[in-house]
Chains A and B, each alone.
Chain A
Amino acid sequence: MMRKYLGPVALNLFAWTTIIAVAFPLFWMLVTSVKPQSELFRRPPTMLPESWTLEHYWHLLTQTNFLVYFRNSVMLSTVTTLLVVTVATLGAYSLVRFRYRGRESLAFLVLFTYLLPSVVLIIPLYLMLVSLGLSNTLFSLVIAYTTFALPYALWLMRSFMAGVPDDLEYAAMVDGASRMGAFVDVILPQLLPGIISTALFTFILSWNEYLYALVLVNSDGARPLTTGVMNMLISSFNIEWSLLMAASVMMSVPLIIVFAFLQSYLTRGFGAGAVKG
């Protein structure tokens, strides 16, 4: 009787100890962000705050540029996602369902660029965007972000598109629909989970991007969260950890929302793109 329960209990204890260890830095981020300044540097440190406060969040929202950065990040990621997902959906439809010369090489190019390091592209892109007079704008970042987001989204969409059965499209066309009509009426609804999944991945990639933002933008008006928050670390006289942790939590809010409501789409994207591909 004992033995029957001992195995699973030991397994669970081991599993949850590891999981808690992995998640601990994130827990610590949350705890630090709600501790009052006086408690932050107490020795020994308190694992759970003795008194809770939202003063750091208040400070972050009212006395720093955080909201400007946040707005920039939202706009930047939204525009990039809309652009990239639209282009990639049409492109993937073409790559999977049409026959023409150069199709195979194009698919190869997509995969190649999906693996290409950003640091190779960043120097010419920087020169190009400066000479076009676009540096220090959100638009320059949208352009730069397509360099990694479009190959990624195309690769994902291609594999989702391959999963939609041919017959549906032909059936609609036999019923008199045009090719594009069949695409809109039959394929798009089938593809919707894939599109959502691709959009989420693109949004998260753009939201988290750092290098292009570091190089292409150096004014607060166009800075996204990643470089903006790092700037708060570098430019402050003494590092205010609780403020930075509050900023980190706020920066992760969109992600927490996705995790809470749309996680199955993330796992689906994993299966489709990165690994099977």
Chain B
Amino acid sequence: MAAPLHSSLERRYARLGLLLIAPTVLIFCAVIVYPLVSAIYLSLFRVFTPTLESSWVGLSNYRELLASGLFWKALWNTLVWTAGTLTLQIVLGIGMALVLHQNIWFRSLARSLILFPYFISTVVAVLVWKWVFNDLYGILNHLLMQSGIISMPIDYLGSMPNAMISVILVGAWKYFPFVVIAVLARLQTIPEPLYEAARIDGAGPIARFFDVTLPQLRDVLVVIVMLRAIWDFKEFDLIWLLTGGGPSSSTETLPIVVYRQAFALNQMGMAAAWAVSMMAILLVFMIVYIRRTREKGPA
């Protein structure tokens, strides 16, 4: 008697569970799964955006794309941007986390100030930096010239390699707080006896960092690097707003090409092919990250 009752309750619960997840599933299907599938489908057509006239072209969008130097150029730019900004984010992030972990004056104010760039809108960040970078009245050129580091104003966004360096720097400024917070949270859980032991063994601060802190941070750093690599790779707003991909497409990354193909050159099908190719590359990172997360189990 007890067993069937139990299983009927279980079935009722399963039904309740499905009912609760139903809104999520419906929304996912409508705004994520369906668009994702139709992006792949769309990439097999040639579409003219204003009229939406389309014709089947099979894989020729992909053939054209892979044969053009533009794809490899954009991929290269994306990799340069991602590698550059990610490295800076990690180095600055770890450094700042170590500093904020110390007992410095006004620590919570310091933490707020460091966190702020991460949470402001990219639009705000870009406007502020454009004003700082301004070639005639920008404060940065003024400060650098006053201190004698440069003798002529620098054109930060209009020439190469300055534009790429500037974009990488602003990206590092905007996103390194993410690394700070993540690393700081982990630092606070490293057991103090480990440091005591190292100190007794005669390890100086630098040796302690490499022998105790860094190995303890390893796991969280792997996760941070993967997450940030994915997010930096697909970054659109920051680069688009700062340089628009210029000068002459030298900071044009893959997401920017997708946008331009679709909404400036009016080639929706081609744009979809670019987007799908970009996603295929990202998929490698995503699968590595997801694998890792599932192995470790949810938080």
Interface size on A, residues (CB 8 A): 97
Q: Known contacts being A208-B121, A276-B299, is A121 close to B18, with CB within 8 Å? A: no
Closest residue on chain A to residue B11 by CB atoms? A100
Which of A51-59, A60-68, A139-147 lies at the binding interface? A139-147
Residues of chain A contacted by B146 (CB below 8 angstroms) = 44
Which of B81-89, B122-130, B192-200 lies at the binding interface? B122-130
B278 close to A (CB within 8 Å): yes
A123 close to B (CB within 8 Å): yes
Interface size on B, residues (CB 8 A): 88
Closest residue on chain A to residue B112 by CB atoms? A259
A244 to B233, CA, bound (A): 29
Residues of chain B contacted by A248 (CB below 8 angstroms) = 123-124, 127-128
A170 close to B (CB within 8 Å): no
Residues of chain A contacted by B112 (CB below 8 angstroms) = 259, 263
A199 close to B (CB within 8 Å): no
Residues of chain A contacted by B298 (CB below 8 angstroms) = 107, 158-159, 162, 277
Of B262, B278, B290, which one neighbours A117 at CB under 8 angstroms?
A: B278
A114 to B124, CA, bound (A): 24
Shortest Cβ gap from A165 to chain B (Å):
15
Asked if B117 contacts A26 (CB within 8 A), the reply is yes
Residues of chain A contacted by B236 (CB below 8 angstroms) = 118-119, 210-211
A192 close to B (CB within 8 Å): no
Asked if B127 contacts A244 (CB within 8 A), the reply is yes
Residues of chain B contacted by A144 (CB below 8 angstroms) = 31
Instruction: Give the interface SS of chain B, mostly helix, strand, loop or mixed.
Output: helix
Shortest Cβ gap from A137 to chain B (Å):
15
A6 close to B (CB within 8 Å): no
B17 close to A (CB within 8 Å): yes
Asked if B116 contacts A23 (CB within 8 A), the reply is yes
Q: 1/0 per residue A31-45: CB within 8 Å of B?
A: 010000000110111
A107 to B290, CA, bound (A): 11
Of B28, B128, B233, B299, which one neighbours A150 at CB under 8 angstroms?
A: B28
Asked if B137 contacts A210 (CB within 8 A), the reply is no
Q: Known contacts being A25-B132, A32-B131, is A127 close to B52, with CB within 8 Å? A: yes
Q: Known contacts being A244-B131, A251-B121, A274-B227, is A150 close to B24, with CB within 8 Å? A: yes
A15 close to B (CB within 8 Å): yes
A93 to B119, CA, bound (A): 28
A174 close to B (CB within 8 Å): no
Chain B residues numbered 193-234 whose CB sits less than 8 Å from any CB in chain A: 220, 223-224, 227, 230, 233-234
Which of B68-76, B98-106, B154-162 lies at the binding interface? B98-106
Q: 1/0 per residue A123-137: CB within 8 Å of B?
A: 111111000000000
Instruction: Give the interface SS of chain A, mostly helix, strand, loop or mixed.
Output: helix
Asked if B31 contacts A146 (CB within 8 A), the reply is yes
Closest residue on chain B to residue A248 by CB atoms? B124
Q: Known contacts being A11-B102, A226-B121, is A210 close to B237, with CB within 8 Å? A: yes
Q: Known contacts being A45-B142, A123-B268, A159-B299, is A277 close to B293, with CB within 8 Å? A: yes
Residues of chain B contacted by A230 (CB below 8 angstroms) = 123, 241
Of A19, A98, A146, which one neighbours B17 at CB under 8 angstroms?
A: A98
Asked if A12 contacts B293 (CB within 8 A), the reply is no
Of A117, A124, A252, A270, which one neighbours B120 at CB under 8 angstroms?
A: A252
Q: Known contacts being A28-B131, A251-B124, is A22 close to B35, with CB within 8 Å? A: no
Of A88, A112, A122, A162, which one neighbours B299 at CB under 8 angstroms?
A: A162
Residues of chain A contacted by B90 (CB below 8 angstroms) = none
Asked if A123 contacts B272 (CB within 8 A), the reply is yes
Of B102, B105, B128, which one neighbours A28 at CB under 8 angstroms?
A: B128
Residues of chain A contacted by B105 (CB below 8 angstroms) = 12, 16
Q: Known contacts being A45-B137, A109-B28, A112-B286, is A124 close to B34, with CB within 8 Å? A: yes
A275 close to B (CB within 8 Å): yes
Residues of chain A contacted by B100 (CB below 8 angstroms) = 15
Shortest Cβ gap from B230 to chain A (Å):
5
Residues of A within 8 A of B (CB): 8, 11-12, 14-16, 18-19, 22-23, 25-26, 28-29, 32, 40-41, 43-45, 87-88, 90-91, 93-95, 97-100, 103, 106-109, 111-113, 115-128, 143-144, 146-147, 150-151, 154, 158-159, 162-163, 179-180, 204, 207-208, 210-211, 215, 225-226, 229-230, 233, 241, 244-245, 247-248, 251-252, 255, 258-259, 263, 266-267, 270-272, 274-277
